[in-house]
């Protein structure tokens, strides 16, 4: 199950989000499998993630998103994405 929160700046600072690497991706659609848990903070973009057999989830800038290990899904990026991310 994908978890989405809209954290305050103080929570982001506690997590050290600004020190996480940045990933960028152009408008596209692709299938993805998470071998391990990923936490990411969306800086830019418009994303719809649909877990295999599940309902679409809309993700926007300002969202802190946790993708569980073992999940397979389709990413549909409608506006270019920039995000901080951390595995584990």
pLDDT tens digit sequence for 63-73: 999 999 999 99
Mean pLDDT within 51-58: 97
- Band of the pLDDT at 37, cuts 50, 70, 90? very high
CB within 8 Å of 34: residues ≥ 6 apart? 67, 68, 69, 70, 71, 72, 73
Q: What domains can you pick out in the chain, each with its CATH number?
A: 3-87 (2.60.120.10)
User: Would you say the pTM of this structure is higher than 0.75?
Assistant: yes
What's the Cα-to-Cα distance from 38 to each of 64, 77, 81, rounded to whole Å? Answer: 10, 18, 16
């Amino acid at each position: 199950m994908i978890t989405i929160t809209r954290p305050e700046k103080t929570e982001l600072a506690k997590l050290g989000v600004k020190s996480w690497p940045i990933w960028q991706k152009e408008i596209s659609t692709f299938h993805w499998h998470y071998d391990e848990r990923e936490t990411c903070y969306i800086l830019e973009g418009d994303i719809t993630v649909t877990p295999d057999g599940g309902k679409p989830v809309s993700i926007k800038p300002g969202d802190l998103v946790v993708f569980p290990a073992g999940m397979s899904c389709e990413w549909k990026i409608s506006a270019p994405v920039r995000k901080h991310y951390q595995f584990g």
